[in-house]
Structure 1
Amino acid sequence: MGSIKIFFITIFSGLLIASGLSASNVEVTSSELINNAKEYDKKEVIYSGEVIGDIMKRDEHAWINISDGSNAIGVWIPFEETEKIGFTGQYKYKGDIVKITGIFNRACSEHGGDLDIHAKSIEIIERGYEIKRNINFYGLIAGIVLFIIAMSLSLVIYSKKL
């Protein structure tokens, strides 16, 4: 009786461990993808991060860049899926946080050997927003005063040389 119990525990533990080692359908970081590219190559992965830069339309697809804070990875996505994206990260905007499910390619033959993900789906996790930037009026006034002083000194030096 005890050996049967141990047998089933061993089998169950082995199945749990083996399912955890599969690269398919696991959420990964950009560092994991870059450092373990061979392991994840041609496998389905889940990758999350901020949409940054521009959406670059190419026929029925588009390129988007997703940054997880460490690196950015190019994602090849059906163009109609990009309509879900409200904001892309730029100076004035925080981009949408998305979850991409797709096939990882360490050297994509379709795209000149680039490392990329061919997305099957995109899910918006958090909407982006406009970043409000306040002007530092004290800094602005100090800059104007320093500019006037520098111009005055330049004129004095220039007039003495003539």
Structure 2
Amino acid sequence: MKLWLLRHGEAEPHARTDAERELTRHGRKEVRQAAAHLAGRPLPTILCSPYVRARQTAELLAAFLDGAPKLVVVDWLTPDSDPRQALDRLAERGEDDLLLASHQPFLGALAGLLVHGHLQDPLPMQTASLAELDGELPLAGAMYLRALHHPGHRP
């Protein structure tokens, strides 16, 4: 399984609620830079947080990619979600290639759990950082970090 973890692009600092914050112009640019790292790769499904900035990130990414990936909004990809519960949700999925568009601190903790098997060493994820993980199954300590791309770094 190939699992991609994408943190949303830069969002506006204020909105009525945190969930309603939208991407800035710079954040959209960051997402396009991240999308360049995925060009030509099969990506049938993108799971994203219900928060506006993560949905916008997923939509921008899907528009950039070939094959029109299916976008699925799930409630277990918010900033405060439990990475251990996310492992259970991922185990229920059948895709060989899957991308999650979400937030910190959740994504960093999830990546750390998948790679190291514990939550004490989260992966640093800037806005629009993209992590590529590879492994047989999405289990704690069973995946390998193949690449970590940060905005501004070209493929």
TM-score band by shorter chain is under 0.3
User: Which structure has the bigger radius of gyration?
Assistant: 1
Query: Higher helix fraction: Structure 1 or Structure 2?
Result: 1
Higher relative contact order (CA 8 A, sep 6+): 2
TM-score (normalizing by structure 1): 0.26
Query: Higher strand fraction: Structure 1 or Structure 2?
Result: 1
TM-score (normalizing by structure 2): 0.27
